[in-house]
Amino acid sequence: MSWQSTATLANLQERAKFLQDIRHFFAARAVMEVDTPLLCQHTVSDVHLASFNIGDRYLQTSPEYAMKRLLAQGCGPIYYLGKAFREAELGQRHNPEFTMLEWYRPNWDHLQLMEEVFELLQVLLGIQSISVTTYGEIFAKYFNICPHQVTIETLQQLAISHQWVDKRLLPEMDKDGWLDLLMSHGIEPSLGLSQPQMIIDFPASQASLAKTRYMPGHDFEVAERFELYYHGVELANGYHELENAMVLRERFKENNQKRQKLGLPVIAMDENLLGAMQVGFGPCAGVALGVDRLLMFKLQETDIAKVLPFGWQAA
């Protein structure tokens, strides 16, 4: 019947226990739970994320900006477990309203945080092992190229040869756009099939809010961030957090330039976030994880609506 939950009662009971287990995990580690506003004055400028616009506010796509303001106040390690919203994301693995787990560890780097993500997976899914691969290694394995130094023309030819694009109608994309196309079509479906897989050392141009560093023996930088994949699905995205407000302002500007080229609205910079970063929160690592997707794997469901009280069509 259409008025009923899209999840079974058994799945709702499992969901309640799942959320409880997450809270117990962080309580045992003295990580404080925090709330953040769902309706925000500012939103992300990332061209790949679409925000719901409600009057002069936005529904949060992530609690990141507010949590970093709390970090600058000296709140110590914190986590958020609650709703986030992303427009135009709907499908078997996407719901525009979803549950996000995001946490930050002061004085940690992304490698230390990866260990804690693994510990959480052990608790929630009984995972016993995990693999770590660099972005460069997976592109060398699947396409025999170095993604940090390859040309756009080579990426285009690879996409054409696999019939992922029509050579007569090539889309206008920058290098990262072509790398994303090859990643989504040729690599992601094969990631983490036997065990969860961490991808690290992304191109510096994909740093977002992460730090970058030069690779020893090479003349290019990489982003100090990671993505977690399981059965071909991205579950988490973590950073060794950028601390420099001036660099972040430049990245915001670059994102808005990309948005203008794509005909997307320009997003005003969050001066509250920039102000907090000028005060500083010190070395820090943070990660965001999709709780509903993780629960799908635990319950062996293939449709995200089956682990939600009310999926998008029933809400």
Structural domains for the chain = 9-130+195-307 (3.30.930.10)
> If you write DSSP's letter for every residue of 131-165 in order, what string do you get?
EEEEHHHHHHHHHSS-TTT--HHHHHHHHHHTTSS
> Which residues in the chain belong to E strands, given as ranges?
32-33, 39-40, 53-54, 57-59, 78-85, 97-106, 131-134, 197-203, 212-214, 221-230, 233-240, 284-290
Question: For residue 75, what pLDDT is reported?
Answer: 95
Question: For residue 1, what pLDDT is reported?
Answer: 57
pTM: predicted TM-score of the whole model, two decimal places: 0.93
Residue type at position 22: I
Residue entry with tokens 């996407």: 94
Asked if 256 and 233 touch (Cβ cutoff 8 Å), the reply is: no
Question: For residue 46, what pLDDT is reported?
Answer: 84
Contact partners, residue 238, CB within 8 Å, separation at least 6: 110, 113, 114, 117, 225, 226, 227, 228, 285, 286, 287, 288
Question: For residue 219, what pLDDT is reported?
Answer: 83
CA distance 276 to 69: 5
CA distance 218 to 307: 45
Q: Could you read off the pLDDT tens digit of each residue along the chain, which spans 315 residues?
A: 588 899 999 999 999 999 999 999 999 999 999 999 999 999 988 887 888 989 889 999 999 999 999 999 999 999 999 999 998 777 888 899 999 999 999 999 999 999 999 999 999 999 999 999 999 999 999 999 999 999 999 999 999 999 998 888 888 888 999 999 999 999 999 999 999 999 999 999 999 999 999 988 778 999 999 999 999 999 999 999 999 999 989 999 988 988 888 888 888 889 999 999 999 889 999 999 999 999 999 999 999 999 999 988 877
